[in-house]
Copies of this chain bind each other. A is one copy, B any other.
Amino acid sequence: MFVMGIDPGLSRCGYGAVRQEKGEPVAVVSGVITTPDSNPLAERLAELLRELRQLMSRLSPEVVVVERVLFQANAKTAMSVGQASGLALAAAAEAGIPVVQYSPNEVKQAVTGWGNAGKEQVQRMVQVLLDLPEKPCPPDRADALALALCHLASAPLARAASAAMASSAGSRR
């Protein structure tokens, strides 16, 4: 399974593609899309949309995982994060790629075992799980890889649950 995580943001949008090979997750590519603060908002959003589209078309992931944006203390940041997440979700759907969302707490829980883990802990755990030579920086990049890992960890359970439900539905017919 080949999964691309996206940690939406306007100043920094993290992305991280992870492939599951023989049961082991392997980081394929990861990075951060930045748009210059000095450009008008609409142009920055159009640039982000273009970059996300190119990434999805170049990598062709089987699933795109986008962080579910929750309300934050900083209203201005939350709004631009919301706008960026809208673009990521729309770009994936336009490319015909299934989209899954997880909350920040679900991702931290899956990757570190603790829903309130800090940025640094997520970075270190992503480094360990993907056997990277150094911790992924900036945190947006680590968060995107963590989203992909969270989905790879959740997907087998979800598949097993839906198979069990299908089989139980079948046996009731």
Query: Which residue numbers of A lie inside 8 Å of B, CB to CB?
Result: 40-43, 45-46, 48-50, 66, 69, 71, 75, 78-79, 82-87, 89-94, 99, 101
Contact = CB atoms under 8 A, between A and B. Distances in A.
- A-B pairs, top 8 by smallest CB distance, nearest first, are A83-B86, A82-B82, A46-B93, A42-B93, A42-B89, A45-B90, A42-B99, A86-B86
Nearest to A94: B46
A1 B41 CA distance: 23
Nearest to A96: B46
Copies of the polypeptide in the assembly: 2
B87 A79 contact: no
Given A43-B93, A46-B91, A83-B85, 6 more contacts: A41-B89, A46-B89, A71-B78, A71-B79, A82-B83, A87-B90
A6 to B, nearest CB: 11
A40 B92 CA distance: 12
Contact of A83 (B41, B89, B92): B89
A163 to B, nearest CB: 21
B69 A79 contact: yes
Contacts of A46: 89-91, 93-94
A50 B91 CA distance: 11
13 contacts: A41-B101, A42-B90, A45-B86, A46-B89, A46-B90, A46-B93, A49-B90, A69-B79, A78-B82, A79-B82, A82-B86, A84-B86, A85-B86
Contact of A86 (B43, B87, B99): B87
Contacts of A79: 69, 71, 82
Contact of A42 (B41, B45, B92): B92
